[in-house]
Structure 1
Amino acid sequence: MSPECCAPSTTPPAPSSRGAPSGPSRAGTRTARATRRPRAPTRATSPSCCGRTRPTRRCTRCSTRPATAPTGSPSRWRRSADWPRTDPDPRTAPEEAVPVTARPQNPDPSRPGSPESSTTEAPSKPKRGGSHGVRAARPLAADDRARLLAGAHHDPHALLGAHLVRGGVAFRVLRPYAQAVTVLAKGLRAELHDEGDGLFCGVLPLPEVPEYSLLVTYDDSEIEAEDPYRFLPALGDLDLHLIGEGRHEELWTALGARPMTHQGVPGTRFTVWAPNALGVRVTGDFCYWDGTAYPMRSLGSTGVWELFLPGVGDGALYKFDITRPDGSHTLRADPMARRTEVPPATASIVTESHHVWQDDLWMAARGDRPVHESPFSVYEVHLPSWRPRLTYRQLAEQLPAYVRDLGFTHVEFLPVAEHPFGGSWGYQVTGFYAPTARMGTPDDFRFLVDALHRAGIGVIVDWVPAHFPKDDWALAHFDGRTLYEHEDPARSEHPDWGTLEFDYGRKEVRNFLVANATYWCEEFHIDGLRVDAVASMLYLDYSREEGEWAPNEHGGRENLDAVAFLQEMNATVYRRCPGAITIAEESTAWDGVTRATHHVGPGGFGGLGFGLKWNMGWMHDSLGYAAHEPVHRKYHHHEMTFSMVYAYSENYVLPISHDEVVHGKRSLVSKMPGDWWQQRATHRAYLGFMWAHPGKQLLFMGQEFAQGAEWSETHGPDWWLLDPSYSAEPDHRGVRDLVRDLNTVYRDAPPLWQRDTDPGGFAWVAGDAAEDNVFAFLRHDASGAPLLAVSHFSPVVRHDYRLGVPDTVPAWAEVLNTDAARYGGGDIRNEDPLKPDSTPGNGQPVSIQLTLPPLATVWLRPV
């Protein structure tokens, strides 16, 4: 017998070969761990020990601690060197510390650690007891326990964490797969009782709840962490009030994942709106995708669930594990996620911006002049295919320089919000608050916008509030019932696209979308939103047959909820984001799309409040005219003039967009009849007519250099056409040079943009020359200074063609001719100034004679 201990030495038996997973296990091992009975550890004693101690623990009888764990001892009983002493040293223990000298006395002789237990047997150990001085807490009610473990409890903070009770403070912790949980505080180390199912609890004789942390022991590791359930709600009452009323204009600051310091501790606040859920849990890579330990609490009647997770920060992957009303679970991406994984992965990512904006001058001057009275020519871009495989930052090195060289004032991006299917071009959105991760992070996208602004180029993005896809990890039936979509299946199903339509009548859904519009403008400095598929929102019978829709409360087919939403969205954007512009893609004759919301029109509705509207009628008619053979065009002359009948009923954009160069419609140059020379000439003449016509211009990528093939999102524009080694390269480069000069002259010619919305800024000179295929008109600026535009769509030269002009101009000079040799034309020009003579013409007192090149547009200004 050792002189240091009362018991003889023993030799430990060989350990079991059965292994145990290490650390907090992943979800796949959860069932096996929950159903097996814990093994009894092989009791090892030191030669200087009485045999009463558990492995590596101080002997409860003689206070001797083994120097090391015995060879082969099960890893789940290993302890780190700083594991708390199980008995206090009276020379070092602070006076205020709760005594934790030993494990509690166990009257059951079959339990290890009991004074009556055998020194030669190692009985099974279904549960671990707490430290001496830790009383067992009152067990949870069966219903509370069941709902907590099932992820269906509305207030887990009432069960977990630290709470004052009679006789002290009760601690309860939920840590699945943990072997032990110890409460750490100033002068305190107390191991909690194991209640089973990952619950650990105990009552300490403390006068108040201390600042504490948790030491969680797994099979072969220990983790010290803050307890998420010791924190007050990290979402304020004002936020909840505004969310409940559907008026939170900065909703992205209240919902989603927000890194912050809360009660002096860094972490992330998770919040989600799921009013139909029985419970919600946070899960992610920080918990091996098992959210059992992180149930959220519901906050009042708002349907918002909240949890602050200490230690979780930028870059963490997460989702919400939602318990549906029927008790089943669904794993969902965050509707408010501001960053996502790269598709096809679907997790949300905690993020915070570190970008330092350098576009102060642009933002300060953006609202100085209304867009309706400013140059506005747009280059439409599908970012993933403009230069395939480039990142946002790589695009920032190339796109601004290219667009600035061509002279466009703005770029418009096809939707950049996250979408799972690239073939949708971004029009089936699942992550409304996250730029697509295909090309980088949100800060990378900010970097691209910043670079464009510093190059003097505005940024418009396509925005899709009309519908969303049915993916079961996104918005569809988000919390087990209809939530973002309309509860009436006849109104929720979009008949054309197999998607779901938003419930614009629900205030929280409307808030989600209105805040999203301002989010892009404020967080990413976006200068405009082009709203997709507005017509499908406005009409209850859109693409629906009789019997498939129900009229509104007035018996009409107008979607009154959508009207109210669009009015609110536009009013909010213009109020919060000075200088921003909203643009409607609306393909019907809805009255007042760009009229102010408070101005009631003939139909009894206020305007929708958009700044601009795509002129789909002009696009359809003018392309139809250009596609006819020249000999037949005189029979379709009205297709080019009809647009001026309604040109000032709205504020228009003239769009040659992505929709017109796909799905068998052919590229712009390929729509034109004739041989290659005639196709290019008509293409150039059409662009000259378009840039001179009242309205703003939009041209899709690839059409600026007469790409012959349709656009495909898989490979983008055919840049090889501009390779000097290609024999037809001068033809394509000539068209691009024309687009550059169109923009240059346009920006320097106020008559072409200053009075786009004023009927007094336009006058026909020759609108009825159908036999000649000629269109001539005057544009005037605010001072009355004119520009004369003449388009000729016949393949013949017309010499000495007479046109009446105002007698206030002494002479006219060409400022642009699409037939110039540098553009690939025949170089038939009017090189000398054209002086009017006294011959009346076209209702004017004087006229000029000029030469009209074949298939060309000529612009003339006073000299």
Structure 2
Amino acid sequence: MALRDTSLPETSGPVRTSGTALVGEERDRLLGGAYHDPHALLGAHPVPGGVLFRALRPNAREVSVLADGVRSPLVSEGDGLFSAVLPYPEIPAYELVVAYDDGEQTVHDPYRFPPALGELDLHLIREGRHEELWKALGAEPMTHEGVQGTRFTVWAPNAQGVRLAGEFTFWDGTQYPMRSLGAAGVWEVFLPGIGEGARYKFEITSRYGHRFLKADPMARLTEVPPDTASVVTSSRYAWNDAEWMAHRGDTPVHRAPMSVYEVHLPSWRPGLTYRELAGELPAYVRDLGFTHVELMPVAGHPFSGSWGYQVTSFYAPTPRLGSPDDFKFLVDALHRAGIGVIMDWVPAHFPKDDWALARFDGDPLYEPGDSRRAEHPDWGTYEFDFGRTEVRNFLVANAVYWCEEFHIDGLRVDAVASMLYLDYSRDSGQWAPNVFGGREDLDAVAFLQEMNATVYRRCPGVVTIAEESTAWEGVTRPTDSGGLGFGLKWNMGWMHDSLEYVQKEPVHRKYHHHEMTFSMVYAYSENYVLPISHDEVVHGKQALVSKMPGDWWQRRANHRAYLGFMWAHPGKQLLFMGQEFAQGAEWSEKHGPEWWLLGDDYHSAGDHRGMRDLVRDLNTVYRDAPALWQRDTDPAGFQWSMCDAADDNVFAFVRYGEDGTPLLAVSNFSPVVREDYRLWAPEQVTAWQEVLNTDAVRYGGSGVQVGDAGKLCPEDGRLRLTLPPLATVWLTPAR
């Protein structure tokens, strides 16, 4: 809004003011924030004898119309309303001159503009099919009718009225009532002169007459918590990852190497911004050989202790670490380092903060109206109403938004099981069956199928990953075959069983041998990721190395052997930060990984560096060995070499590449060296060589080797090895 010289001649023609004042119910509803069409009352409208101008400017001393170089004063009606009929034959191009106690402003009148949202947008919103919803709703800086400003739109179908409040109105919504655009339930106003950086909220009057402020559900930038306002923004980022984006989908993910480093950005290196992280994280992850990072939720959340899993701003990266363009800079840096970016996405629930989505327009809107379905019993949050088309659209478009606007390569969908079952964490009487009498949430199923189908159609190369902890059939089956359509699924069964096994003392492990072999019964029922995630190293569960039995050396040896077993097992790998160097303490979001353990002045830094060296070598050998990833979803790519050696705590299996090249993985989860140990091995290989041994001295091990490559020859179909204690070894055909 510009300040300018307004010492212009006033109109010499007659000005009619009698009968122009707004009276009655319309006046009360307009001033009370409960009027659906303020543009019909405000702005300029032809009337007999001229043009009626009416403006709503609370706290103004005077308001005048400036047209054709002539300034014509309006007459105060009280309560901030000013009006007059001016003798124009038609509505002229005009501005308003608004005088306050501290000066004058010449501004465009927001109520002279037609809607800045098209009919096609409204149709798609009403149908729940607007796949670029963020371009239609929210705050969009733009040029409209030749004037620069910002279009504000919000979906609030149950509201009596919606007004815009912001720092530019001292958080009083009176001045800017929004108009309803009809059956779509969308409210809109275009504000000239308002641009990037402006803070705002929507002031909603419910059907019950209650008035309250709400943050924009579609905001693309927010204030830093604990402040809760939405912020007008637009992106100017120029991407530099065209080559990555063009080729990221060349090989289907289930047939490609994939090892994932899970990161909580605010605590990986506490205090670093997105741009500062871009200078450290890509180099670190690339050095360790991980193919992807998985970021714990980045979307805006008010409570940092939720780690991002209680989202209030689904379209805005958390501003704690910088702007949306700063986050794009980090993603771009990871891509240029050859690293894919997976983001945790949380469509299962949202918190009840009264300034956010909960009871958004005074009624259940994003959440179901049935309290039995609205309340999430575990987390004190609301669940989304997956049966409502507009809510599904909000979430499906959100998935597309992160992939298209931020070049995210994968979405790991949190808490899928809690979405799929109506009786999830509910007792009898606390839930109602579906139309077929079952416990499945059919609306949630339809939503997940729509989300996956839409993302895969629009975003080539993107993978969706389900955190699903039950035996739901077809999680990674295509939607056209009745599946949910995910690309991968976290193998929670493998995680639980294998951790149960390795936490036992070796003398007791023989009674739990099946917990390490059972995963192969169902290994090809879905496309799996093997997750050792943040959930396994918090809340009293202990860090991975601290779960292991024995003294410090045995714990680290168990840790190394377990990772060797995990990297060789069918499925993709995921490891949470800090576990790559065997920190002994649980993770805390307040201080992050214990990097000091790697310092030069720490007497056992070599122990931790050795573990990190192992992870680097695991990733290096893994990526160079197609047998470990090409046939992850093909049963013919796996063969047990020894699965019944319970008394020895030994597991051995062969993985095969597409060309038949084998890799033999042998794990000895006993603290004793096993000399001359006999195993079955593929007959076509006459000599084997060791390519990885978790007992190597450089990793902190005892240095026991399986033997010379030339001596690793089959005899009577058996292979004789020396098995190091608490170790995993990988063998390939000798060259």
TM-score normalised to structure 2 length: 0.98
C-alpha spacing 1:398/1:80, structure 2 compared with 1 (3 Å): closer
2:524 counterpart (648, 655, 658): 648
Match of 1:731 in 2: 607
Are positions 1:697 and 2:573 aligned together?
A: yes
- 1:432 and 1:465 map into 2 onto residues whose CA distance is 9
C-alpha spacing 1:221/1:816, structure 2 compared with 1 (3 Å): same
Q: Which letter does structure 2 place at the counterpart of 1:856?
A: A
Alignment of 1:280-291 (within 5 A): 280-291=162-173
1:274–1:478 contact (8 Å) kept in structure 2? yes
Displacement of 1:548: 0.9
CA deviation vs aligned residue, 1:559-585 (integer Å, no higher than 9, x gap): 000000000000000000000000000
Are positions 1:857 and 2:733 aligned together?
A: no
Match of 2:705 in 1: 829
Displacement of 1:806: 1.4
Alignment of 1:714-753 (within 5 A): 714-753=590-629
Are positions 1:272 and 2:154 aligned together?
A: yes
Displacement of 1:847: 2.2
Aligned residues: 733
CA deviation vs aligned residue, 1:169-188 (integer Å, no higher than 9, x gap): 11000000000011112232
CA deviation vs aligned residue, 1:171-228 (integer Å, no higher than 9, x gap): 0000000000111122321011111110011111111111111110001210111100
Alignment of 1:508-519 (within 5 A): 508-519=390-401
Match of 2:290 in 1: 408
Are positions 1:506 and 2:419 aligned together?
A: no
2:333 counterpart (448, 451, 455): 451
Match of 1:575 in 2: 457
Q: Secondary structure at the residue paired with 1:598? A: helix
Are positions 1:263 and 2:145 aligned together?
A: yes
- 2:714 and 2:287 map into 1 onto residues whose CA distance is 43
Displacement of 1:81: 6.6
1:136–1:193 contact (8 Å) kept in structure 2? no
Unaligned residue ranges in structure 2 (runs of 5+)? none
2:8–2:70 contact (8 Å) kept in structure 1? no
C-alpha spacing 1:640/1:200, structure 2 compared with 1 (3 Å): same
2:106 counterpart (224, 241, 246): 224
Q: Which has the larger radius of gyration?
A: 1
Q: Which letter does structure 1 place at the counterpart of 2:202?
A: F
1:134–1:190 contact (8 Å) kept in structure 2? no
- 2:600 and 2:693 map into 1 onto residues whose CA distance is 25
1:338–1:433 contact (8 Å) kept in structure 2? yes
Q: Please, what is the CA RMSD of the aligned residues?
A: 1.3
- 1:659 and 1:81 map into 2 onto residues whose CA distance is 63
2:675 counterpart (785, 791, 799): 799
CA deviation vs aligned residue, 1:26-54 (integer Å, no higher than 9, x gap): xxxxxxxxxxxxxxxxxxxxxxxxxxxxx
Q: Which letter does structure 2 place at the counterpart of 1:369?
A: T
Q: Secondary structure at the residue paired with 1:694? A: coil
Q: Secondary structure at the residue paired with 2:426? A: coil
Q: Which moved more, 1:179-188 or 1:215-224?
A: 179-188
Q: Which letter does structure 1 place at the counterpart of 2:44?
A: A
2:223 counterpart (328, 341, 346): 341
Are positions 1:785 and 2:661 aligned together?
A: yes
- 2:18 and 2:415 map into 1 onto residues whose CA distance is 62
C-alpha spacing 1:504/1:82, structure 2 compared with 1 (3 Å): closer
- 1:344 and 1:755 map into 2 onto residues whose CA distance is 48
Q: Which letter does structure 1 place at the counterpart of 2:724?
A: P
Match of 2:718 in 1: 847
Q: Which letter does structure 2 place at the counterpart of 1:639?
A: E
Match of 1:83 in 2: 7
1:835–1:848 contact (8 Å) kept in structure 2? no
Are positions 1:209 and 2:122 aligned together?
A: no
Displacement of 1:754: 0.3
- 1:201 and 1:236 map into 2 onto residues whose CA distance is 30
C-alpha spacing 1:492/1:762, structure 2 compared with 1 (3 Å): same
TM-score normalised to structure 1 length: 0.84
Q: Which has the higher contact order (CA 8 A, sep 6+)?
A: 2
CA deviation vs aligned residue, 1:789-813 (integer Å, no higher than 9, x gap): 0000000111111112112112110
Match of 2:258 in 1: 376
Match of 1:657 in 2: 533
Tell me which protein shows more strand as a share of its residues. Answer: 2
Q: Secondary structure at the residue paired with 1:420? A: coil
Q: Secondary structure at the residue paired with 1:138? A: coil
- 1:400 and 1:669 map into 2 onto residues whose CA distance is 25
1:272–1:304 contact (8 Å) kept in structure 2? yes
C-alpha spacing 1:181/1:616, structure 2 compared with 1 (3 Å): same
Q: Which letter does structure 2 place at the counterpart of 1:99?
A: S
- 1:584 and 1:195 map into 2 onto residues whose CA distance is 60
C-alpha spacing 1:337/1:219, structure 2 compared with 1 (3 Å): same
- 1:535 and 1:373 map into 2 onto residues whose CA distance is 26
- 1:173 and 1:83 map into 2 onto residues whose CA distance is 21
- 1:137 and 1:494 map into 2 onto residues whose CA distance is 56
- 1:385 and 1:608 map into 2 onto residues whose CA distance is 33
Q: Which letter does structure 1 place at the counterpart of 2:94?
A: Y
Displacement of 1:598: 1.6
Q: Secondary structure at the residue paired with 1:460? A: strand
Q: Secondary structure at the residue paired with 2:732? A: strand
Q: Secondary structure at the residue paired with 1:644? A: helix
1:788–1:861 contact (8 Å) kept in structure 2? yes
- 1:838 and 1:853 map into 2 onto residues whose CA distance is 19
C-alpha spacing 1:834/1:765, structure 2 compared with 1 (3 Å): farther
- 1:838 and 1:578 map into 2 onto residues whose CA distance is 46
Q: Which letter does structure 2 place at the counterpart of 1:699?
A: L
Alignment of 1:355-394 (within 5 A): 355-394=237-276
- 1:82 and 1:645 map into 2 onto residues whose CA distance is 82
2:12 counterpart (81, 91, 99): 99
Q: Secondary structure at the residue paired with 1:500? A: strand
C-alpha spacing 1:81/1:669, structure 2 compared with 1 (3 Å): closer
Are positions 1:808 and 2:732 aligned together?
A: no
C-alpha spacing 1:224/1:720, structure 2 compared with 1 (3 Å): same
2:712–2:721 contact (8 Å) kept in structure 1? no
Q: Which letter does structure 1 place at the counterpart of 2:702?
A: G
Displacement of 1:836: 5.5
Displacement of 1:838: 5.6
Alignment of 1:20-169 (within 5 A): 82-86=6-10, 98-99=11-12, 133-136=15-18, 138-169=20-51
- 2:471 and 2:402 map into 1 onto residues whose CA distance is 29
Match of 2:82 in 1: 200
Q: Which letter does structure 2 place at the counterpart of 1:186?
A: D
2:681–2:714 contact (8 Å) kept in structure 1? no
- 1:831 and 1:213 map into 2 onto residues whose CA distance is 89
Unaligned residue ranges in structure 1 (runs of 5+)? 1-22, 24-78, 87-97, 101-131, 600-605, 841-845
Displacement of 1:834: 4.7
Match of 2:198 in 1: 316
2:434–2:440 contact (8 Å) kept in structure 1? yes
2:687–2:713 contact (8 Å) kept in structure 1? no
Are positions 1:244 and 2:126 aligned together?
A: yes
- 2:5 and 2:585 map into 1 onto residues whose CA distance is 71
1:466–1:533 contact (8 Å) kept in structure 2? yes
- 1:804 and 1:834 map into 2 onto residues whose CA distance is 17
2:237–2:328 contact (8 Å) kept in structure 1? yes
Displacement of 1:290: 1.3
C-alpha spacing 1:836/1:681, structure 2 compared with 1 (3 Å): closer
Q: Which letter does structure 1 place at the counterpart of 2:80?
A: G
1:415–1:426 contact (8 Å) kept in structure 2? yes
- 1:213 and 1:82 map into 2 onto residues whose CA distance is 11
- 2:492 and 2:516 map into 1 onto residues whose CA distance is 13
Q: Which letter does structure 1 place at the counterpart of 2:383?
A: E
